[in-house]
Amino acid sequence: ETGVTQSPTHLIKTRGQQVTLRCSSQSGHNTVSWYQQALGQGPQFIFQYYREEENGRGNFPPRFSGLQFPNYSSELNVNALELDDSALYLCASSSLGEDTEAFFGQGTRLTVV
Amino acid sequence: QKEVEQDPGPLSVPEGAIVSLNCTYSNSAFQYFMWYRQYSRKGPELLMYTYSSGNKEDGRFTAQVDKSSKYISLFIRDSQPSDSATYLCAATPSNTGNQFYFGTGTSLTVIP
C-alpha cells in the first residue's frame, strides 16, 4: 500500500457529462500529479499541482482541470466528457524539491458511454 | 516520436528464467529513470528508481541505464509466476516533481 488513495474506483458517465475524481496524497508529500492511462498504453501526464497551484501541464485540453487543497489532496475535473476519455485515471504524490520517488494510487476507471 | 519507447510484448517465459525488459528514450535531458510494475486494473507500483547511468540492484531485480545509448533495462532473475504483470519504464528530467514520461508497458507472463 502506497498511502495514496483515489475515489471512486469505478465510474460510468454519459458523453457530455462532467466528472470529478479525487485523490488523497501520501502523508508528507506536497505534490500531486494526474495521469490518464488508456487501455494498453502507458500513463500520460495531465497536470501537476504544488501548493494549490498548477505546476506543469501535458497535452490535454482545458476541459481537464484540477484543484489542490491545503491538505495536499486533489481533484481532477473533466467537462464535456467524450468517449475517448474512457481510461484509468491515476494520481501520483511526491515531495517537490526532494529526492523522493512518486507513488501512485490504485486509479479510477472511468467509462464514458 | 514518443519520448520513451518500449516493446509491448507480450513476453512469456518459464518459471526460473532470467527476464530482460528494455526501453529507449530520445530526450537527453532525462536524468532519473524508473521501473513500475502494474497488475491488471491496479495502479503502478514502484520497483526501481535510478539516477543517471549505472546499475542498481534490489533482490532479484537489476536496473541498468546507459545514457550514451539512451537505453534502459530491467533484469529479473529467478522469475516467479507472481512477477506476471505489465512493466512500465519511465523517465524524467529532474527529481523536482513527477512529470514522468512513460513507455507503453511490456506484458510479462511467467509460466509455472
Give the residue from chain A lying closest to B42, CA to CA.
Answer: A106
Give the residue from chain A lying closest to B6, CA to CA.
Answer: A42
Lowest-confidence pick of A41-50, A88-97, A98-107:
A98-107
Give yes or no for a contact between A43 and A35, defined as CB atoms under 8 angstroms apart: yes
The CB-side HSE value for B69 (13 A sphere, CA atoms) comes to 9
Q: Which of A38, A56, A66, A22 is nearest to B102 (CA)?
A: A38
pLDDT at A100 over 80: no
Cβ–Cβ below 8 Å for B98 and A102: yes
In this complex, is the C-beta atom of B36 within 8 Å of any C-beta atom belonging to chain A? Answer: yes
Cβ–Cβ below 8 Å for A42 and B34: no
Host H or E run for residue B75 = strand B71-76
d(CA A25, CA A22): 10
Q: How many CB pairs under 8 A join A and B?
A: 75
- Most A-contacting residue of B86, B99, B102, B104 (CB-CB within 10 A), to test interface: B99
- How high does pLDDT run on average in chain A? 92
Cβ–Cβ below 8 Å for B8 and A40: yes
| Average pLDDT of span A68-74 | 91
Cβ–Cβ below 8 Å for B104 and A107: no
In this complex, is the C-beta atom of B19 within 8 Å of any C-beta atom belonging to chain A? Answer: no
pLDDT at B82 over 90: yes
Share of chain A above pLDDT 90, in %: 73
- Most B-contacting residue of A5, A35, A90 (CB-CB within 10 A), to test interface: A35
Q: Which residues of B touch A50 (CB under 8 A)?
A: 97
Kindly report, residue by residue over B2-54, the tens digit of the pLDDT.
Answer: 899 998 889 999 999 999 999 999 999 899 899 999 998 889 999 998 888 88
